[in-house]
Amino acid sequence: MRCAIAARKTLALDMNPVDTFVFDLDGTVTEEELLPRIAAAVGETEAIADLTRRTIAGHVPFESSLRERVAILGKAPIAKVAEIVEGVSLNPTILSFLEANASRSIIITGNLDVWLTKLALRLPVPILSSRVTSKNGYIENFSEIMEKGAKARMLHAEQLCVVGDGHNDLGMFEIADVAIAYGGVHEPAASLYAAATHAVYDPNTLCRLISQL
């Protein structure tokens, strides 16, 4: 079974300790992708599963994909979706790392703020996400579509470690000192490998690695 492989570059032995850890949410901190879970609950499994696969692989631009997925899933009331998301399983090993390193960790996700309100209460670190406006309990429009690379730059980290699995994490990988393609739920997007310092397929291996940074 694969555990970890060196990918793009060798880390300097005298590298300063990482001061900021950035994690993707879906399939990284959570033990499943959120949108397919929502889709199953509202009867849109096939359409969302296909679109999610193509988005993770980088075959569909993230913004276009997100707008299309929200157009489909936004037909459900926000409160119902937030309740569905609240029940998703969090990886206990990664959660423990976040709890122990809360002061230097953050989650950046393309998912929607209104869908994550209840899940956010279960996490010990802040979540930066795409944002929408709502009307009468339903999504109305986008106010911000998360561009992960730009958001990560705004953190002004001296030594940045990023953990993610999808093509929309690439912008963060390109500016990270340590960039880990994580395959805990599915194979990381091929585009991440060229920008990654490591590829890891197991949460215990992941947390042992980043605990040394």
CA atoms within 13 A on the CB side of 31: 12
**Closest Cα partner for 161 from 182, 176, 147?**
176
Instruction: Give mean pLDDT, residues 164-180.
Output: 95
CA distance 51 to 59: 9
Average pLDDT over the chain reads 91
Tell me the per-residue pLDDT of 118-138, one tens digit each, with 9 for 90 and over.
999 999 999 999 999 999 999
Residues 6+ apart with CB under 8 A from 165: 24, 27, 28, 56, 181, 182, 183, 184, 185, 186, 188, 189, 192
Q: Is residue 27 within 8 Å of 107, Cβ to Cβ?
A: no
More confident of the two residues 130 and 65: 130
Confidence label for 53 from pLDDT (cuts 50, 70 and 90):
confident
User: CA Rg, the chain, in Å?
Assistant: 17
Q: What class, spelled out in words, does domain 4-211 have in CATH?
A: alpha beta
Q: What is the pTM of this model?
A: 0.91
Domain range list for the chain: 4-211
Instruction: Give mean pLDDT, residues 173-183.
Output: 96
